[in-house]
């Protein structure tokens, strides 16, 4: 039985990394985010430092339960999600659900080669809370802007449009241009 659980984002990566690490490691895939802000309401407490309320994504409940069960018997959990804001946030959520009373380490690699993988596992770190906070800030801003602006788009243009990041920037550019025209 292996003593370590490694969690990556994709099943293909899991298979390859499992070959490189060999016995002593079980490598599993989270297949992306396991937690998010529920869509039913804003779920950002604007009055309390913009505190988000995350829930486990319904399609990921079974997977998370399986990972929890597997983590029970492990000494160490290695978070090996992608080395970006999203990957760090995914790892942070996984650690918060799986890492109670466990040693949780963060491994970061930028290529899937045996050398890079083994080097990353020789030099584990902590989850980078600054990257987590950057992802959360982006997600919270998306929610605040999108949640308030999307209904306006539904009324004015067509139902189902989303005013997320890209759309918000486009709307801002249009509003700024319109103000320039009116000022002229």
CA distance 160 to 80: 35
The pLDDT of residue 170 is: 63
pLDDT, tens digit, 9 for 90 and up, residues 6-65: 999 999 999 999 999 988 999 999 999 999 999 888 899 999 999 999 999 999 999 999
The pLDDT of residue 61 is: 97
What's the first-to-final CA gap in the chain, in angstroms? 74
Spatial contact of 148 and 155, defined as CB atoms under 8 Å apart: no
CA distance 69 to 48: 34
Is the overall model pTM greater than 0.85, yes or no? no
CA distance 135 to 19: 31
The pLDDT of residue 1 is: 63
CA-closest candidate to residue 85, choices 135, 128, 37 = 135
pLDDT, tens digit, 9 for 90 and up, residues 87-120: 999 999 999 999 888 899 999 999 999 999 999 9
The pLDDT of residue 163 is: 65
């Amino acid at each position: 039985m292996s003593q370590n659980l490694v969690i990556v984002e994709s099943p293909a990566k899991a298979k390859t990394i499992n070959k490189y690490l060999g016995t002593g490691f079980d490598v599993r895939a989270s297949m992306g985010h396991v937690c998010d802000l529920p869509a039913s309401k804003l779920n950002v407490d604007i009055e309390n430092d913009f505190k988000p309320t995350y829930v486990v994504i319904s399609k990921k409940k079974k997977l998370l339960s399986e990972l929890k069960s597997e983590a029970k018997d492990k000494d160490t959990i290695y978070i090996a999600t992608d080395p970006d804001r999203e990957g760090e946030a995914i790892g942070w959520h996984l650690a918060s659900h799986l890492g109670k009373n466990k040693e949780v380490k963060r491994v970061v690699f930028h290529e899937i080669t045996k050398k890079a993988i083994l080097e990353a596992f020789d030099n584990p770190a902590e989850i980078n809370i600054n990257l987590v906070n950057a992802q959360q800030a982006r997600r919270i801003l998306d929610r605040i802007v999108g949640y308030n602006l999307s209904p306006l788009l539904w009324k004015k243009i067509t139902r189902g449009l989303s005013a997320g990041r890209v759309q918000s920037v486009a709307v801002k550019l249009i509003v700024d241009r319109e103000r320039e025209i009116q000022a002229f």
